[in-house]
Amino acid sequence: MPPPPSPPSAALLYAPDGYDTSRPRLMGRHAAGEGFLIGLVRHAGFERMVALTRGEADAEAFRRHVATLGAAAPAEAIPDNELQRLAGIGCLMLPGPGLGEHAWRRRRIGPATAWSLVGVTHTIASAGAMDSILDSLVAPVQPWDAIVCTSEPVRGAVRRLLEMQGGYLARRLGATRIEGPALPVIPLGVDCAALAPDPRARAEWRARLELREQDVAVLHHGRLSFHAKAHPLPMFLALGRAAAKAPPGARVVLILSGWFADETQRRAFHEQAKAVAPHLEICLVERPETGTTLRNAADIFTLLSDNVQESFGLAPVEALAAGLPVVGTDWDGLKDTIRHGETGYRVPTTLGGPMPDLAERHDAGFDSYDSFIAGVAQFTAVDVPAAEAAFAALIADPVMRRAMGAAARRDALARFDWPVVIGQWRALWAELARLRREARAERAAPLRGEARVPHRPDPSILFAHYPTRRLAPETRLMLPPGEDAAAVLVRLRAYAGLPGAAPRRDLLPSMDSIQAALEVLEQGPATAARLSAELQPLRAWRMNRSLAWLLKLDLLRLADG
């Protein structure tokens, strides 16, 4: 009998936007998010699926989403204002690399050893993504927190970013220790079973696209964007030349599959192909359905990425799982995923420079993010002769295509299938839990009496120089002369009914708590501490600060002047 499932060791920060692949402008992070949720549902072995959600609408969306994925375990949503419940789970998984906001929130409510925070990289090229990564150097991020990098090249870029900012902070502040989060490498996963080669789907798609059995179909699938994904000129040049040298009877067809952002992109692809590869046959399959089986029509997959927007490249991994050899660039995550000469070919790339002006213009707001990444891509070269040679070798040798495709499928099963990838996540959760258990103390733990979140301090402390005095626990209060508790209560109810008398009525104590305090004052002046002494801590907080509101309405007076 199999062992019982383990209790959850991680909860997911869930907002529907991060996991929706039905949207018209589908991005890699959406596909990665939903894929990860599918992997968790099917392979994590949780007794219950837990998400941290903001609002009941998101909670219901989470429960509905995991139900549609066939979750056997019940779904539970923790409201965002009950963050302390994460202590019973051990880890909060975030949909991006930013740990800072959640590290500060954790610090507000309890010990940092209560749970770990784990983010994950998607694109790291945007100013917002860079800032969220760098925030981990000043936020109370701990050694048992992590930013998961989806490839070694991404980890190298994240580490370089942290080291550069860390060096500045050390010189600026005289710091002797600059610590960031752990940076483990875990790739994105795919459902290899769903992507298995399907002869029936191959026959249907090739008939639909009018491809003969001897034709060689090369698939490019994803966003069709020259500025934000992969400039198509190197692909058109290399494939057009390789197609012209194809063996007799081997017609080469490029299947362009995906979605154009706008008409500018559509026109650019069309005109570039016509100008540099006029004899290359191109079949456009625009906006294929989610979960398309179109890969089965292809004999080769290609993505000649040249863009810093890219960080992993999920489509090439899906192609490997579908048993296709991949011609990709030696760039970002493709360095990790394509085994050169075994599962495909990696085409060399050359990055130009320097480009500090591009970073400066984007940072200052003169250039949009799209303009920034387009500029970097413009100065990134793809080795067209090497790409031509890779295409030509595969076009000419069907035996090699089949052998590489079989190796690609085996490699995907061994490295990128969701059970394998979720196993790496489970190992990470266990390691972070060990670090929490063995931790002697939180790094830079707050001192007694110190603001737990110094950049968002208690306003009654920050603005202590504004008033004449502060209402302190030892402040003595009394009823107005000539009034008893009942008379004050009558006035209180009358004032409370006036529009705007209590703009944040939700922050006030109950009327019963106020009445009890007034009855204490019938015996004579008393300190603020005495008036809340019988209340639970949270209710005492409410009473202590609300005494100032009662003073504002002249329902109480200061006993000492």
The two structure tokens encoding residue 366: 């003169």
How big is the CA angle at 40 (ends 36 and 43), to the nearest 5 degrees?
Answer: 125
Which segments of the chain belong to CATH 3.40.50.2000?
199-416
Longest dimension (CA), the chain: 110
Who's near 165: CB < 8 A, 6+ residues apart? 134, 137
Q: What is the pLDDT of residue 444?
A: 83
> Rounded distance, CA 250 to CA 247, Å?
6
Classify 482 as helix, strand or coil: coil
C-alpha angle 18-42-423 in degrees, rounded to nearest 5: 90
Residue 216's DSSP bridge partners are 252
pTM, whole model, 2 decimals? Answer: 0.89
Residue 394 in 3-state DSSP?
A: helix
What does the DSSP 8-state code read for residue 74?
Answer: P
Provide the pairing of β-strand 344-347 with 49-53.
Answer: unpaired
Spatial neighbors of 151 by CB under 8 A, at least 6 apart, are: 185, 187, 311, 312, 332, 333, 335, 336, 337
Rounded CA-CA distance 323/298 in Å is 10
- Rounded to the nearest 10 degrees, what angle do helices 418-438 and 398-415 cross at? 30
CB atoms inside a 10 Å sphere around CB 547: 20
If one counts every other C-beta atom within 10 angstroms of the C-beta of residue 511, the result is 12
* Fold that domain 11-188+423-438 belongs to in CATH: Rossmann fold (3.40.50)
For residue 544, the model assigns a pLDDT of 93
What gap in Å lies between CA 357 and CA 362, rounded to an integer? Answer: 8
3-state percent helix, strand, coil for the chain, nearest multiple of 5 = 45, 15, 40
Element (H, E) at 381: strand 380-382
Q: DSSP letters along 243-299, please? A: HHTPPTT--EEEEEEEEESSHHHHHHHHHHHHHH-TT-EEEEEESPPTT--GGGG-S
Q: Are 28 and 314 in contact (CB under 8 A)?
A: yes
Task: Write 354-360 long-range contacts (CB < 8 A, 24+).
Answer: 355/379
Q: Closest by alpha carbon to 430, among 4, 3, 2, 10?
A: 10
What pLDDT is attached to residue 4? 43
Task: Check residue 1 and give its pLDDT.
Answer: 38
Residue ranges of the chain with per-residue pLDDT less than 50: 1-5
Query: Do residues 341 and 353 lie in contact, with contact meaning Cβ atoms separated by under 8 Å?
Result: no
Give pLDDT, residue 5.
43
pLDDT of residue 441: 83
- pLDDT for residue 240: 97
181-206 tens-digit pLDDT: 999 999 999 999 999 999 999 999 99
At residue 323, φ and ψ (nearest 5 deg) are 80, 30
State the residue for tokens 């801590």: 537
CATH superfamily of 199-416: Glycogen Phosphorylase B; (3.40.50.2000)
Q: Residue 237 and residue 241: Cα distance in Å, rounded?
A: 6
Contacts with 304 (C-beta within 8 Å, 6 or more apart), sequence order: 230, 231, 234, 235, 238, 327, 328, 329, 347, 382, 387
| pLDDT at residue 2, rounded to an integer | 40
